[in-house]
Structure 1
Amino acid sequence: MATLSLFLTLLAGGIAALSLCSALVVHFKSPKPRPRDDSENYSLCIDEKHERQRLGSLWDEARVDLSIIVPAYNEEERLPVLLNDIREYVANRRESGGFSYELIIMDDGSKDKTSEVALEFARIHGICELRVVKHIVNRGKGGAVTQGILSATGRNILFCDADGATRFSDIDALLAKMNDGPVIAIGSRNNQALSGTVVERSHLRAFLQWGFHTYVTLLGVRGVRDTQCGFKLFSRRAARLVFPNMHVERFIFDIEILLLARYQDISVVEVPVNWHEVAGSKMSIVRDSIQMALDLLAVRLNYMLGNWIIAESKD
């Protein structure tokens, strides 16, 4: 009897401690996205009048074939590589037929010349489709992606990292997975053995990715082997289901995308892409890994406890 009493006491104590920890994580780590400043409803481009242009809306009818959203924070050195890769891809697409696009650089409160570099590239190459949105303060990668996609006018919408780590022409493999329904095609760095694609990654990054994937699986996010690759394509219908419901503005936002896709029965397919590690990452391996682990726990708890309700689509 004494042993059973001790066991029950320890069990009650463990449950109480777990509940307290969960409450603290939800209270202190739940993201609270800020509303847009009015200036963030406008973009800069190289039009003749040099006037700000009001952004479109995800709820408008699609006006171009593809929207490309690039979150950028202090990317003046790495961004031109990606921009040139996109320029070459677009030129090749237009040789084989009509192709319309928009390229939105989400300057997420940069302290360098990210915006100026992007606009100068557009001037040099005559890219009228390139626009720059400047955030008054840094939101985080997830916030920049979300705000960009909420303003996209493409039938399909891609976000890709500013470092150019993924070969941009691999988007064709993602586009091949699109259909009339809600679909998300995810670039994957884990299928190279099956596909012949090339992935160059340091041993430390590979180990951390394995550990993170294990943690994500334990928290119930299964079925996707590479959740964090910064090369994801959304049909317009899928984007309308996912991004109005987004809360996370930091690195863990990819996981919330996948959770929202699962809750709403959106098709998610992984597609092998060519990828190489690029120097200059803004991510701190130790600090941000701990931050991501806590943020992921907060996200999972908020959905499990019903604190975050998924709004019905207007589509």
Structure 2
Amino acid sequence: MMYDLYSLALYAAISLLLLFSLFCLVLCKVSSPYPNVLRLDEEKYFVDPVNGNRVKFPSLDDKWSVHLSVIIPAYNEESRLPPMLEECLEYLSSREPNFLYELIVVSDGSRDKTVQVASKSRNSNIRVLDLKLNRGKGGAVRLGVESCRGALILFADADGATKFSDLSKLEDSLRDLVEGDYRKDPSKVSEALAVVCGSRAHLEAESVAKRSIFRTFLMWGFHLLVKTFGVRDIKDTQCGFKLFTRRSAQLAFRSLHVERWAFDVELLYIAKCLKIPIAEIAVNWTEIEGSKIVPVLSWLQMGKDLFLIWLRYRLGAWKLRTKVD
């Protein structure tokens, strides 16, 4: 009887190993080494908010022409977007007169009035990228980054949950990483390698106290998956407030495959693999109603994505761009 159980266990183990090997083989066959980025012709243009002309977006390959680009992914954000834009514009416009910036609102296939709301102010610093097909947050951020002009590039959530003035904390940290100030020497800093992540990790104890046991369990499960299959030393990978030098963005976003919620983890995984310096800085954060995350389904999707990110890179099915084209 014992021999039969041992044989059965051995047979099951061998079968599972063969199935996993077959899965890995199929995964390698169907995976593209580098991301295939879809962009429709009409998505390559924006409407000039001042004169109404249709103008082609620049390319991330172009030399920087403003100090800072703020990329704001937005899906059905007609209600939460206006306060965020107002806070952002108020803060950036208060800087020295020669500070140049732009806001790129990426409407990710929105079905509400997100595009109209973003265009309403007719502010020359705002450009709207109107995606006709929904890509997911990561896909929207990527196309916004590809269309920007900044020496530094920040992506910030449309809900305004992070206090925008905390940008100065990220800038201070980046200054230490690259040993330069992008407001004084943008060309040097633009070509440096650095990423600074806003973090809500210091607020975790407070947030756990407000969550249900089930949601807390899901959160800790996700953290475990991130540490196992993603990055170990970044406490909060999901905060939507991250600052990149232009060259770092070129390298990281052009290797990015995941277009939905787990894209932050892949970005940081890529940065780690390319030895791009990363810093994590605590920011002020307030939960805003209207989140698009569905607790169970979104976290299950992210968990699956995290495992497949790790596995594809381990198998060599996905590869990294190690230089700017």
TM-score, normalised to structure 2, is: 0.85
State the Cα deviation string for residues 3-36 of structure 1 (Å, max 9, x = none): 8755543431332343355567778999975521
CA distance in structure 2 between the aligned counterparts of 1:38 and 1:287, rounded to whole angstroms: 33
CA contact (8 A) 2:200 2:236 kept: yes
Q: 1:131, CA displacement in angstroms?
A: 0.6
Q: What corresponds to 1:264 in structure 2?
A: 274
> Are 1:140 and 2:151 counterparts?
no
Change (3 A) 1:60 1:200: farther
Q: What corresponds to 2:233 in structure 1?
A: 223
Q: 1:226, CA displacement in angstroms?
A: 0.2
Q: What corresponds to 1:293 in structure 2?
A: 303
Q: 1:67, CA displacement in angstroms?
A: 0.2
CA distance in structure 1 between the aligned counterparts of 2:216 and 2:83, rounded to whole angstroms: 24
Q: What corresponds to 1:104 in structure 2?
A: 104
Superposed counterparts of 1:147-162, under 5 Å: 147-162=143-158
CA contact (8 A) 2:35 2:256 kept: no
CA contact (8 A) 2:225 2:306 kept: no
CA distance in structure 2 between the aligned counterparts of 1:185 and 1:201, rounded to whole angstroms: 28
Amino acid across the alignment from 1:270: E
State the SS of the aligned residue for 1:170.
helix
Q: 1:93, CA displacement in angstroms?
A: 1.6
Q: What corresponds to 1:279 in structure 2?
A: 289
TM-score, normalised to structure 1, is: 0.88
CA contact (8 A) 1:183 1:268 kept: yes
Q: How many residues align?
A: 305
Q: 1:240, CA displacement in angstroms?
A: 1.3
State the SS of the aligned residue for 2:173.
coil
Change (3 A) 1:281 1:201: farther
Q: What corresponds to 1:129 in structure 2?
A: 125
Q: What corresponds to 1:88 in structure 2?
A: 90
CA distance in structure 2 between the aligned counterparts of 1:298 and 1:233, rounded to whole angstroms: 26
Structure 2 stretches lacking a partner, 5+ long: 179-188
Task: Find 1:43's aligned residue among 41, 46, 52.
Answer: 46
CA distance in structure 1 between the aligned counterparts of 2:115 and 2:29, rounded to whole angstroms: 35
CA contact (8 A) 1:58 1:152 kept: yes
CA distance in structure 2 between the aligned counterparts of 1:128 and 1:113, rounded to whole angstroms: 20
Superposed counterparts of 1:7-18, under 5 Å: 8-18=10-20
Superposed counterparts of 1:236-247, under 5 Å: 236-247=246-257
CA contact (8 A) 1:33 1:248 kept: no
CA distance in structure 2 between the aligned counterparts of 1:314 and 1:105, rounded to whole angstroms: 25
Q: 1:79, CA displacement in angstroms?
A: 0.2
> Are 1:208 and 2:218 counterparts?
yes
Q: What corresponds to 1:191 in structure 2?
A: 202
CA contact (8 A) 2:108 2:133 kept: yes
Q: 1:221, CA displacement in angstroms?
A: 2.3
Question: What fraction of aligned residue pairs are identical, expressed as a percent?
Answer: 42
State the Cα deviation string for residues 176-235 of structure 1 (Å, max 9, x = none): 122243100000001359xxxx97984146553322111111225211000000000001
Q: What corresponds to 1:173 in structure 2?
A: 169
State the SS of the aligned residue for 1:75.
coil
Amino acid across the alignment from 2:171: L
CA distance in structure 1 between the aligned counterparts of 2:164 and 2:268, rounded to whole angstroms: 22
CA contact (8 A) 2:208 2:216 kept: no
Structure 1 stretches lacking a partner, 5+ long: none
Q: What corresponds to 2:63 in structure 1?
A: 61
CA distance in structure 1 between the aligned counterparts of 2:298 and 2:222, rounded to whole angstroms: 12
